[in-house]
């Protein structure tokens, strides 16, 4: 069916939201959190659904920080440059052992790093500050008396109970990603299983008559579907599980059926292509004739201004531009925060940095531009950024080259070299 003249005008007369209005409208609609319990060994990079507090102090016993001797500090009080104290060694404590009786005045117990300080002792003298009295006098190694060459004070070389963490202390907030440090803490406190948010299941549907599957031979006028695979990566980076559905040609009927099913089956659906004002832009038509709620279909940003988001059956539909860079930025700006919110993250936006433009950026625009950039730190420590290459929304190579997006506010002339800009880091350096 050919679009009517009035439909056509409506396509152009969209109400563009600012990026902040659009993100705000979206994030406040997301309320579908679900939780599962999994073994800790499978929890890396998952988001915790429980706040984790220390269920005991750490350390939970007085712990030696050195290899040396557990002593009463009082017994070393008179030690000076040439005056050593002599102590009787009454035994040895390995890590994990508990000494059987209190240490008395004049006694020392050999102790290893990490072992529990025996009762009666209140300090540890490091091994290097002692010598073996018998070996000194007779040349034989008999380990029952030592000379102490340094005074120690009470608590020296001992980790007191709760030095590192006190009982009840909040350690990991709800929604945090479980990385190496979090995994170590959870293990420390005995979490064999952990409550995490389920990974949102996200369907990907690319649309376009020109699309070939990646196994197909290239044909004149056609291109392989690369967006689906880019989105597959972006969804995983945001903690979701992607489902690649078959791409559809620009067929309104087929698309409608597929979308209706997908929005029942999955937690979210992303489409690419067909959201602009062309003759075959079937996503626009779909969102005009559905029983869902359209949040926006134009955003004051570039690339990705036709990014469209709505809800059907309580599930978000992200209809992104087919242009690879626009699709990438649309996913970054809307899909990522929404998926993070579904995983309990209260602040789902990346933390921007600031840096200096390394070269002038002369593009005039009335919309905010998120430019694919390469950021780095200079020798003087300053952060600098430059465009990552081909700055067109149809470009793919600059997505690969970019490690950030830098923000160019609406301007008639662009920005001069040296201007300070906001930078949204996309990946870590390695």
Where along the sequence are the contacts to ligand AMP (CB under 6 A)? 206, 208, 210-211, 223, 225-228, 272-276, 278, 321-324, 394
Q: Residue 321 binds which one of ligand AMP, Mg ion, none, with CB within 5 to 8 A depending on kind?
A: ligand AMP
Distances (CA, A) of 405 to 227, 302, 303: 18, 11, 11
Q: Residue 343 binds which one of ligand AMP, Mg ion, none, with CB within 5 to 8 A depending on kind?
A: none
Which C-beta is closer to Mg ion: that of 70 or that of 320? 320
Could you give the CA distance from residue 278 to residue 394 in angstroms, rounded to a whole number? 16
Give yes or no for a contact between 123 and 109, defined as CB atoms under 8 angstroms apart: no
Q: Residue 272 binds which one of Mg ion, ligand AMP, none, with CB within 5 to 8 A depending on kind?
A: ligand AMP
Q: Residue 271 binds which one of Mg ion, ligand AMP, none, with CB within 5 to 8 A depending on kind?
A: none
Q: How far apart are CB 49 and Mg ion at their closest, in Å?
A: 39
Could you give the CA distance from residue 201 to residue 243 in angstroms, rounded to a whole number? 7
Could you give the CA distance from residue 311 to residue 315 in angstroms, rounded to a whole number? 5
Given the rule CB under 5 A, which residues bind Mg ion? 208, 273-274, 322
Which C-beta is closer to ligand AMP: that of 274 or that of 310? 274
Which C-beta is closer to ligand AMP: that of 194 or that of 317? 317
Q: Which long-range contacts (CB under 8 A, 24 or more apart) does 260-263 make?
A: 260/312, 262/203, 262/205, 263/292, 263/312, 263/313, 263/315, 263/317
Q: How far apart are CB 43 and Mg ion at their closest, in Å?
A: 40
Give the residue closest to ligand AMP by C-beta: 322
Which C-beta is closer to ligand AMP: that of 122 or that of 281? 281
3-class secondary-structure state, position 385: strand
Query: To which residue do tokens 């998952």 refer?
Result: 46
Could you give the CA distance from residue 384 to residue 143 in angstroms, rounded to a whole number? 62
Beta bridge partners, 311, equal 293, 316
Nearest by Cα to 143 from 223, 65, 89, 213: 89
Which C-beta is closer to ligand AMP: that of 156 or that of 285? 285
Could you give the CA distance from residue 213 to residue 216 in angstroms, rounded to a whole number? 5
Q: Residue 49 binds which one of ligand AMP, Mg ion, none, with CB within 5 to 8 A depending on kind?
A: none
Instruction: Quote the DSSP letter at residue 246.
Output: P
Q: How far apart are CB 227 and ligand AMP at their closest, in Å?
A: 3
Which C-beta is closer to ligand AMP: that of 68 or that of 310? 310
Q: How far apart are CB 283 and ligand AMP at their closest, in Å?
A: 8
Which C-beta is closer to Mg ion: that of 73 or that of 275? 275
Q: Residue 323 binds which one of Mg ion, ligand AMP, none, with CB within 5 to 8 A depending on kind?
A: ligand AMP
Q: Residue 23 binds which one of ligand AMP, Mg ion, none, with CB within 5 to 8 A depending on kind?
A: none
What distance lies between CA 386 and its chain's CA centroid?
24
Q: How far apart are CB 277 and Mg ion at their closest, in Å?
A: 11
Nearest by Cα to 12 from 211, 250, 298, 268: 298
Q: How far apart are CB 322 and Mg ion at their closest, in Å?
A: 5
């Amino acid at each position: 069916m050919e679009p009517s003249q009035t439909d056509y005008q409506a396509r152009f007369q969209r109400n563009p939201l600012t990026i902040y209005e659009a993100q705000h409208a979206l994030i406040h609609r997301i309320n579908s959190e679900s939780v599962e319990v999994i073994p800790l060994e499978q929890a890396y990079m998952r988001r915790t659904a429980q706040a984790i507090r220390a269920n005991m102090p750490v350390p939970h016993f007085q712990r030696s920080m050195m290899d040396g001797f557990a002593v009463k500090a009082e017994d070393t009080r008179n030690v000076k440059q040439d005056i050593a104290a002599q102590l009787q060694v009454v035994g040895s404590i390995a890590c994990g052992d508990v000494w059987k009786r209190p240490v008395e005045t004049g006694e020392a117990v050999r102790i290893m790093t990490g072992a529990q300080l025996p009762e009666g002792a209140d300090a540890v003298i490091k091994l290097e500050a002692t010598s073996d009295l018998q070996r000194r006098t007779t040349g034989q190694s008999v380990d029952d008396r030592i000379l102490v060459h340094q005074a120690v004070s009470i608590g020296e070389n001992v980790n007191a109970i709760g030095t590192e963490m006190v009982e009840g202390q909040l350690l990991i907030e709800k929604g945090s990603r479980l990385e190496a440090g979090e995994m170590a803490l959870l293990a420390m406190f005995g979490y064999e299983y952990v409550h995490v948010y389920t990974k949102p299941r996200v369907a990907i549907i690319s649309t376009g008559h020109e699309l070939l599957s990646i196994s197909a031979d290239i044909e004149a006028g056609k291109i392989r579907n690369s967006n689906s695979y880019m989105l597959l990566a972006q969804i995983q980076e945001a903690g979701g599980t992607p489902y690649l559905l078959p791409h559809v040609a620009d067929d309104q009927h087929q698309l409608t059926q597929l979308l209706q099913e997908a929005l029942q089956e999955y937690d979210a659906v992303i489409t690419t292509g067909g959201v602009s004002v062309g003759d075959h832009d079937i996503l626009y038509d779909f969102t005009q004739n559905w029983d869902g709620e359209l949040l926006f279909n134009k955003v004051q940003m570039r690339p990705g201004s036709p990014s469209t988001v709505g809800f059907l059956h309580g599930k978000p539909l992200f209809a992104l531009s087919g242009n690879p860079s626009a699709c990438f930025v649309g996913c970054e700006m809307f899909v990522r925060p929404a998926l993070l919110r579904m995983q309990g993250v209260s602040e789902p936006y990346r933390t921007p940095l600031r840096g200096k433009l390394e070269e002038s950026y002369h593009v005039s625009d009335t919309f905010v531009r998120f430019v694919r950039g390469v950021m780095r730190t200079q020798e003087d420590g300053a952060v600098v950024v430059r465009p990552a290459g081909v700055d067109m929304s149809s470009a793919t190579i600059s997505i690969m080259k970019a490690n950030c997006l830098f923000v160019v506010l609406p301007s008639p002339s662009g920005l001069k070299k040296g201007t300070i800009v906001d930078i949204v880091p996309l990946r870590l350096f390695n």
